[in-house]
C-alpha cells in the first residue's frame, strides 16, 4: 500500500503525488471518505485518478491510498438475482446501510458475507487441481447449479475439501501449499478470463423475434450492435431479450439513457416472469446499473464488470447473454475522461482509442471450452444498443461498433413512427452468423431455413423496387403480378417481421412457428403468382382471406399453431384454384 496526496481536483478526476510504485488501473481510495478510484495515467510520479464517486468537498492535500490491486469484482454464488452498481456494490444492501442514496466511499461487498451456501464437494482429495477445475457445486437459485471453480492461475494438490454450509469467505478446503479455497474468487474486471480454447459459432441464441431469428440471427458467442435513434425501440428489444432469449444467464448493463430509465429497470426486472418456467427472470439475471448519483465515469467500468460476470458463468459451462443499454453512454464516459485528460481528441471529441477499446470489449464475446476439468463449453453473447445522436449512423460510436460487431440490427425512426415494431431496417441490417446458424435453425424448424430466408429477402427486395416504381410512375404502372408481390410483402412486413412486445403470445415466437410463417408467406406468393400467370386478376384472388388466416396464425398460441397453419395452407390452395 502506497500513500500520496491530492495535488489537484477537476470534477471526478484528481492528480496525486508521489505515486511511484503504483500501477496503471490500480485501485485507489481518495480523501478522508475513501472515495473509490483508479489510476488512469502516469506522468513521472504524478498519477491521474479517475474517481467513481461524488467528489464534492475533495480538496488538495487529501490523502490517497493506492491499494496495490486493480479494480476487481468478487465472483461467486449470490450474483444471480443481484443488482449492482457500476463498480460492483449491491444496491439493496448499500441502500439498507446508508439510506436511499449510496454514501460516497461506502463499501459493501458484492456478495452477501453473512449468507451461507450448501456446498457439495465433487473434486477428489489428493488430486492435482488447476485453474478452472470444478471443486464442487452450490444450488445458487432453485434448479441452478453454480460450479465452484479453482481460480485461474491457482494450482496444486488438493489437501482438504469438505461439503458443508459456508459463507463466500470461509475456506471450503485448501491446497497442499496452504492456499485457501473459498466459494468466491476475485478477478480484475478489465482483463478477459482465460479459456482452454475458443470455439467457432455453431448455433444461435434464439431471440424469439422473428425478424432476428429468420433474417439476422445472433450466434451463441456472437456480438451484435443495435443502433437506433431515440424512441426506435432499443430498450424494448434489450428487455425482451433479457426475458425471452434462450440463455442460461442474462447480464443486463444499464447505462442510463434517460433520467428515469434506470429506476424503471430496477423496478421492472424483479417483476418479470420467465414464460418458459414461470419463475422470476431475476433468478437467472444479474443487473448492473449506473445510478444517477454516481459520476459518468463509473459507466466506463460498469460494462467491464458486466462482461467479467458473464465470463465467470461461461467458465462454469453456461450460455450467457449480455445486454448493454446503451454503449453510447459508455463511449461518452470515455470522451469525458479523454477531454479532462486533455488528450488529443479524435472524431467528434471521442478519444482516438475509442475503436480499439470497443474492439477489446466485443472480443470478450465468444464461445469457448472452459479451462479445467471436467470439460465444459460456455458462451458469452453480446447485444449492445447504440444511440447515435439524431439517429445519424455515420457518427463514431456506431461506425466503430460496426467494425467489430458480427451483426447489426439497425433501427429505423420512420418505421418506429409508423408503429412498425421491431423497427428493423432490413436493408441496412446484417448478420455474419447466418451460415453458422442455418443448420441449427433448419433442424429446429424442420425446413430449409437458408432457402426460406433467401426467398423472404428477395421478396422484400422486389417489393422495395416495385414501390419505388409505383412512387415514380403511379400505382397504375404496376401489373397484377407486381401488385401480388406488394400485397404479400405487406403481409410479411406487418405480420412476419412485425411483432408486438406487449402481446403475451406474440412477444416471443418459437423457432418452428417463425419458420412455418416464413415458409407459408413464400408459398402464398408462389401460389398467387401462379394464379396470375394462369390468367387470374388480383381481384379474383382471395388475398384478404389469406391475410385473415395469416393473422390468426400469428396470434395462435402453441397448441393452436398446427391448426392455424393448416387454415393458411387451405387459403393458399384456394388461391391456386381461383380463375
Ligand atoms: N417491439 C415493440 N412492440 C411494441 N411497441 C414497441 C416495440 N418496440 C418499441 N415499442 C414502442 O416504442 C417506444 C420506445 O421504445 P424504446 O425501446 O424505449 O426506445 P429507445 O430505447 O430506442 O429510445 C416504446 O415505449 C414502445 O411504445
Ligand atoms: Mg432506450
User: In the listed set 433, 465, 486, which residue is the last one of a domain according to the structure?
Assistant: 433
Ligand positioned closest to the Cα atom of 239: 1
State the residue range of the domain holding 519. 446-577
Whole-number average pLDDT of the chain: 92
Atom of ligand 1 nearest to the CA of 238: 17
Q: Taking the model in full, what pTM does it have?
A: 0.93
Q: What are phi and psi of 445, to 5 degrees?
A: -95, -15
Local confidence band at 340 (pLDDT 50, 70, 90 cut-offs):
confident
Asked if residue 165 belongs to a domain, the reply is no
How long, in residues, is the chain?
579
The predicted model gives 9-35 an average pLDDT of 88
Residue 366 makes CB contacts below 8 A (sequence gap 6+) with 195, 198, 199, 221, 379, 380
- pLDDT for 338: 82
* Position with higher pLDDT, 457 vs 265: 457
Identify the residue whose C-alpha is closest to ligand 1 atom 23. Answer: 231
- pLDDT for 99: 53
Ligand positioned closest to the Cα atom of 226: 1
Ligand 2 center–CA 254 separation, angstroms: 10
Atom of ligand 1 nearest to the CA of 423: 8
Neighbours of 126 (CB within 10 A): 9
Asked if residue 457 belongs to a domain, the reply is yes
- pLDDT for 425: 97
Contact 82, 287 (CB under 8 A): yes
CATH number (domain holding residue 553): 1.10.1140.10
CATH number (domain holding residue 18): 2.40.30.20
Neighbours of 389 (CB within 10 A): 12
User: Do 464 and 389 sit in the same domain of this protein?
Assistant: no
Flag whether pLDDT at 578 surpasses 90: no
User: Do 295 and 233 sit in the same domain of this protein?
Assistant: yes
Identify the residue whose C-alpha is closest to ligand 1 atom 24. Answer: 233
Angle, alpha carbons 157-162-165 (nearest 5°): 140
Asked if residue 262 belongs to a domain, the reply is yes
- pLDDT for 257: 62
Total count of domains within the chain = 3
Asked if residue 510 belongs to a domain, the reply is yes
Local confidence band at 36 (pLDDT 50, 70, 90 cut-offs):
confident
Ligand 2 center–CA 245 separation, angstroms: 18
Please write the tens of the pLDDT for every residue from 508-527: 999 999 999 999 999 999 99
Contact 95, 84 (CB under 8 A): no
Ligand 1 center–CA 237 separation, angstroms: 8
User: Do 397 and 540 sit in the same domain of this protein?
Assistant: no
Flag whether pLDDT at 215 surpasses 60: yes
Ligand 2 center–CA 464 separation, angstroms: 29
Helical segments of 50-122, H only: 91-98
- pLDDT for 278: 87
Please write the tens of the pLDDT for every residue from 388-446: 998 999 999 999 999 999 999 999 999 999 999 999 999 999 999 999 999 999 999 99
User: Do 376 and 451 sit in the same domain of this protein?
Assistant: no
Task: Give the Å distances, CA to CA, from 539 to 323, 478, 579.
Answer: 47, 14, 10
Name the DSSP letter for residue 284.
G
CATH number (domain holding residue 263): 3.40.50.300
Asked if residue 93 belongs to a domain, the reply is no
- pLDDT for 455: 98
Atom of ligand 1 nearest to the CA of 233: 17
The predicted model gives 26-42 an average pLDDT of 89
Choose the residue to mutate in 212, 236, 252, 425 for probing ligand 1, maximizing ligand atoms within 8 Å of C-beta: 236
Atom of ligand 1 nearest to the CA of 422: 1
User: In the listed set 70, 88, 109, which residue is the last one of a domain according to the structure?
Assistant: 70
The predicted model gives 187-194 an average pLDDT of 94
Flag whether pLDDT at 495 surpasses 90: yes
Flag whether pLDDT at 528 surpasses 90: yes
- pLDDT for 160: 98
Local confidence band at 93 (pLDDT 50, 70, 90 cut-offs):
low
- pLDDT for 423: 98
User: Do 203 and 334 sit in the same domain of this protein?
Assistant: yes
Ligand positioned closest to the Cα atom of 236: 1
Q: Which helix (H) or strand (E) holds 287?
A: strand 285-289
Ligand 1 center–CA 419 separation, angstroms: 9
Ligand positioned closest to the Cα atom of 207: 1
* Lowest mean pLDDT segment, chosen from 23-37, 145-159, 195-209: 23-37
Atom of ligand 1 nearest to the CA of 209: 1
User: Do 343 and 317 sit in the same domain of this protein?
Assistant: yes
- pLDDT for 259: 62
User: Do 424 and 573 sit in the same domain of this protein?
Assistant: no
- pLDDT for 118: 98
* Lowest mean pLDDT segment, chosen from 18-27, 305-314, 439-448: 18-27
User: Do 273 and 370 sit in the same domain of this protein?
Assistant: yes
Flag whether pLDDT at 306 surpasses 90: yes
Identify the residue whose C-alpha is closest to ligand 1 atom 7. Answer: 421
Ligand 2 center–CA 209 separation, angstroms: 18
Cα separation, 352 vs 53, whole angstroms: 26
Ligand 2 center–CA 256 separation, angstroms: 8
User: Do 415 and 451 sit in the same domain of this protein?
Assistant: no
Flag whether pLDDT at 94 surpasses 60: no
Flag whether pLDDT at 387 surpasses 80: yes
Identify the residue whose C-alpha is closest to ligand 1 atom 26. Answer: 233
- pLDDT for 300: 82
Asked if residue 526 belongs to a domain, the reply is yes
Neighbours of 424 (CB within 10 A): 28
- pLDDT for 374: 97
User: Do 394 and 358 sit in the same domain of this protein?
Assistant: yes
User: In the listed set 53, 70, 87, which residue is the last one of a domain according to the structure?
Assistant: 70
* Lowest mean pLDDT segment, chosen from 112-121, 145-154, 192-201, 294-303: 294-303
Pocket of ligand 1 (CB under 6 A): 228, 230-236, 421-422, 500-502
Amino acid at each position: 500500500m502506497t500513500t500520496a496526496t491530492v495535488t489537484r481536483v477537476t470534477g471526478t478526476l484528481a492528480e496525486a503525488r508521489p505515486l511511484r510504485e503504483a500501477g496503471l488501473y490500480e485501485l485507489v481510495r481518495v480523501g478522508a471518505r475513501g472515495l473509490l478510484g483508479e489510476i488512469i495515467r502516469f506522468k513521472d510520479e504524478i498519477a491521474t485518478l479517475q474517481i467513481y464517486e461524488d467528489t464534492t468537498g475533495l480538496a488538495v492535500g487529501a490523502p490517497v491510498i493506492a491499494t496495490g490491486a486493480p479494480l476487481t469484482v468478487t465472483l461467486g454464488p449470490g450474483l444471480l438475482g443481484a443488482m449492482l452498481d457500476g463498480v460492483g456494490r449491491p444496491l439493496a444492501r448499500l441502500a439498507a446501510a446508508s439510506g436511499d442514496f449510496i454514501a460516497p466511499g461506502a463499501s459493501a461487498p458484492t456478495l452477501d458475507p453473512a449468507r451461507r451456501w450448501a456446498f457439495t464437494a465433487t473434486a477428489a482429495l489428493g488430486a492435482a487441481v488447476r485453474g478452472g477445475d470444478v471443486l464442487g457445486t452450490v444450488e445458487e437459485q432453485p434448479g441452478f447449479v453454480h460450479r465452484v471453480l479453482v481460480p485461474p492461475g491457482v494450482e496444486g494438490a488438493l489437501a482438504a475439501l469438505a461439503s458443508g454450509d459456508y459463507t463466500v469467505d470461509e475456506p471450503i478446503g485448501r491446497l497442499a501449499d496452504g492456499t485457501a479455497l473459498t466459494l468466491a474468487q476475485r478477478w480484475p474486471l478489465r482483463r478477459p478470463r482465460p479459456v482452454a480454447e475458443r470455439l467457432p459459432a455453431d448455433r444461435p441464441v434464439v431471440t424469439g423475434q422473428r425478424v432476428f431469428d429468420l433474417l439476422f440471427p445472433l450466434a451463441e458467442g456472437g456480438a451484435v450492435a443495435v443502433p437506433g435513434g431515440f424512441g426506435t425501440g432499443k430498450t424494448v428489444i434489450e428487455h425482451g431479450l433479457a426475458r425471452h432469449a434462450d440463455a442460461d444467464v442474462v447480464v443486463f448493463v444499464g447505462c442510463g439513457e434517460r433520467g428515469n430509465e434506470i429506476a424503471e429497470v430496477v423496478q421492472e426486472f424483479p417483476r418479470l416472469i420467465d414464460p418458459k418456467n414461470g419463475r422470476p427472470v431475476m433468478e437467472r439475471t444479474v443487473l448492473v446499473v449506473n445510478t444517477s448519483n454516481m459520476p459518468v465515469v463509473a459507466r466506463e467500468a460498469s460494462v467491464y464488470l458486466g462482461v467479467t460476470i458473464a465470463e465467470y458463468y461461461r467458465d462454469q459451462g453456461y450460455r450467457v447473454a449480455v445486454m448493454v443499454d446503451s454503449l453510447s453512454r459508455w463511449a461518452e464516459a470515455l470522451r469525458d475522461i479523454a477531454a479532462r485528460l486533455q488528450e488529443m481528441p479524435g472524431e467528434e471529441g471521442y478519444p482516438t482509442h475509442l475503436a480499439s477499446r470497443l474492439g477489446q470489449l466485443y472480443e470478450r464475446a465468444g464461445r469457448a471450452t472452459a479451462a479445467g476439468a471436467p470439460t465444459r463449453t460456455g458462451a458469452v453473447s453480446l447485444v449492445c444498443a447504440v444511440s447515435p445522436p439524431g439517429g445519424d449512423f455515420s457518427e463514431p460510436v456506431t461506425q466503430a461498433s460496426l467494425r467489430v460487431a458480427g451483426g447489426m440490427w439497425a433501427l429505423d425512426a420512420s418505421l418506429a413512427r409508423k408503429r412498425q415494431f421491431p423497427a428493423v431496417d432490413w436493408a441496412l441490417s446484417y448478420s455474419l452468423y447466418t451460415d453458422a446458424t442455418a443448420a441449427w435453425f433448419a433442424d429446429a424448424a424442420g425446413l430449409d431455413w437458408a432457402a426460406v430466408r433467401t426467398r423472404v429477402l428477395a421478396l422484400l427486395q422486389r417489393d422495395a423496387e416495385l414501390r419505388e416504381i409505383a412512387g415514380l410512375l403511379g400505382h397504375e404502372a404496376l401489373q397484377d403480378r407486381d401488385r401480388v408481390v406488394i400485397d404479400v410483402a405487406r403481409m410479411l412486413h406487418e405480420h412476419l417481421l412485425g411483432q408486438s412486445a406487449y402481446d403475451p403470445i406474440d412477444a416471443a415466437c418459437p423457432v418452428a412457428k417463425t419458420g412455418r410463417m416464413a415458409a407459408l408467406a413464400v408459398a402464398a406468393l408462389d401460389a398467387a403468382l401462379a394464379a396470375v400467370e394462369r390468367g387470374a386478376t388480383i381481384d379474383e384472388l382471395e388475398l384478404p382471406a389469406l391475410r385473415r388466416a395469416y393473422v390468426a396464425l400469428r396470434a395462435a398460441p402453441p397448441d393452436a399453431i398446427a391448426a392455424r397453419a393448416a387454415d393458411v395452407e387451405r387459403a393458399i390452395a384456394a388461391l391456386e384454384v381461383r380463375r
